[in-house]
């Protein structure tokens, strides 16, 4: 049953699952024998991270980072703040940053700077979705699941005012919900 606030399903549960399995297979090759630290960016990346890590057939460790940029608004401010840091030392580690979506690119460019400063051995980014039209800083993910149009998408981790993260699909929000 479609949530009443959703205008249209952009990616079904089955379509997401196929994309995640494909990314998992590619990342298995990349990280075989490397025991990467897989870093989920809270909270949006949680659903993707749990599915993706189970599609990676290699040793890995999980950790989380929580940064704020959007707050309750619609657009990131460029002002990124660490709300929860990693528990793991990244010095000398191969890092895989997991994001649900890249929009302006500000969150990731900030995280990459931090991890470079902390002397990571390598840093790669996997994102389920990429909204390239909205990019403000020069940033490219290493692995991209889906290129999405410039619409307000929610579900599978993505929220609007903290709601809709638990939808199993990715949908476009009706404009009257956020206007
Ligand atoms: C969203 C999304 C990315 C980030 C992308 O997170 O999950 O982390 O914004 O935007 P950017 O490329 O413009 O920086 P948000 O800050 O809304 O937090 P959330 O994951 O807890 O929803
Ligand atoms: Mn996020
Ligand atoms: Mg958000």
Regarding the beta carbon of 141 and ligand 1, being less than 6 Å apart is answered no
Q: Is 103 a catalytic residue?
A: yes
Neighbours of 69 (CB within 10 A): 17
pTM of the model: 0.95
| ipTM value for the complex | 0.98
- Domains in the chain (CATH in brackets) are 13-149 (3.40.50.2020)
CA distances from 126 to 5, 103, 142 (A): 29, 14, 6
Regarding the beta carbon of 69 and ligand 1, being less than 6 Å apart is answered yes
The DSSP 8-state label assigned to residue 174 in this structure reads P
Cβ proximity of 63 and 5 under 8 Å: no
Regarding the beta carbon of 44 and ligand 1, being less than 6 Å apart is answered yes
Considering the chain, what is the average pLDDT of its residues? 95
Q: What is the pLDDT of residues 11-37, one digit of tens each?
A: 999 999 999 999 999 999 999 999 999
Q: Which of 51, 94, 100, 103 is catalytic?
A: 103
């Amino acid at each position: 049953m479609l949530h009443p606030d959703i205008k249209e399903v952009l990616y079904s549960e089955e379509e997401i699952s196929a994309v995640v399995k494909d990314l998992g297979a590619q990342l298995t090759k990349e990280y075989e024998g490397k025991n990467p630290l897989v870093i989920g960016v809270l909270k949006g990346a949680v659903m993707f991270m749990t599915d993706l890590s189970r599609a990676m057939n290699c040793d890995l460790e999980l950790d989380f980072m929580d940064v704020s940029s959007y707050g309750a608004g619609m657009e990131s401010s460029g002002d990124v703040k660490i709300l929860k840091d990693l528990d793991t030392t990244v010095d000398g580690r191969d890092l895989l940053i997991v994001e649900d979506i890249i929009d302006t690119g500000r969150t990731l460019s900030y995280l990459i700077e931090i991890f470079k400063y902390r002397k990571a051995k390598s840093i790669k980014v996997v994102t389920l979705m990429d909204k390239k039209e909205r990019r403000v800083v020069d940033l490219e993910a290493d692995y991209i699941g889906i290129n999405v149009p410039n619409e307000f998408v929610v579900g599978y981790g993505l929220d609007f005012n903290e709601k809709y993260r638990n939808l199993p699909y990715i949908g476009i929000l009706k404009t009257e919900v956020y206007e």
